[in-house]
Amino acid sequence: MTTGRYVTFEGIEGAGKSTVAALAAERLRDVGMSVVEVREPGGTTAGEQIRSVLLDGDAHLEGWTEALLFAAARAQLAAEVIKPALMSGSWVVGDRSVYSSLAYQGGGRRLGIEAVEAINRQGLGDVWPDHVVLLRIDASTGLDRQDVEDRIGSEGAEFQSHVAEAFDLLAKLEPDRFTTVEASLPLDHVLDEVMRGLLGVSR
């Protein structure tokens, strides 16, 4: 049986993940792939409820509470949506994934990348991104592009720089899994680079 591939788009705020993920999914469909799009946190009934606690709530959350809630929403998404899609041969295109937890909670919140990976592995089993597209942008350009700010997006510049450093470290540690693209370039250019990374061609 052929299983699909799981691709995720990552980066700091305003890098263009949602925009580029949707366009990449469209291009994959154009070349005949079946594609399921997911976003994190969310994508299931329970996951959307957890999303509002994580992003819309005013309450202070401890770092580990935050990390465990992201992992819980993700475990549900993996079991309910991602694994069945991959088993049916579809590609899964993710707007964020476990790599956001490694960078935001592991790096940004200083919980440690390995410790955050461990709590996520439990709930994900063998569901893990095959390919990570890291859209790189400097924090001020990213913030200028953002229209809505959430609880985590309103953290200060120091937090954002820890997150960006963690993403760079993750890309360095897993060069075969990551495609890194300069996201301040025009959208068409960004998309061509992404598709070159995903399919080995520019269309």
> What are the residues binding ligand Z5A (CB under 6 A)?
11, 13-19, 40-41, 55, 70, 96, 100-101, 104-105, 145-146, 150, 152-153, 183, 186-187, 190
Residue nearest to ligand Z5A (CB): 16
CB 32 to ligand Z5A: min, Å: 25
CB 152 to ligand Z5A: min, Å: 4
CB 126 to ligand Z5A: min, Å: 19
CB 137 to ligand Z5A: min, Å: 8
Nearer to ligand Z5A, 28 or 191 (CB): 191
Number of Cβ atoms within 10 Å of the Cβ of 201 = 9
Nearer to ligand Z5A, 36 or 119 (CB): 119
Answer whether the bond into residue 41 is a cis peptide, omega within 30°: yes
Nearer to ligand Z5A, 74 or 83 (CB): 74
Nearer to ligand Z5A, 11 or 197 (CB): 11
* Signed CA dihedral, 150, 81, 121, 23: sign only: negative
Nearer to ligand Z5A, 14 or 129 (CB): 14
CB 19 to ligand Z5A: min, Å: 3
- Element spanning 27, H or E: helix 17-30
Beta bridge partners of 92: 6, 36
C-alpha span between 35 and 91 (Å, rounded):
5
For the chain, what's the residue count?
203
Nearer to ligand Z5A, 36 or 71 (CB): 71
Cβ density class 82-102: b for 16+ within 10 Å, e for less:
bbebbeeebbbbbbbbbbbbb
Number of Cβ atoms within 10 Å of the Cβ of 56 = 9
CB 34 to ligand Z5A: min, Å: 23
Q: Are 159 and 105 in contact (CB under 8 A)?
A: no
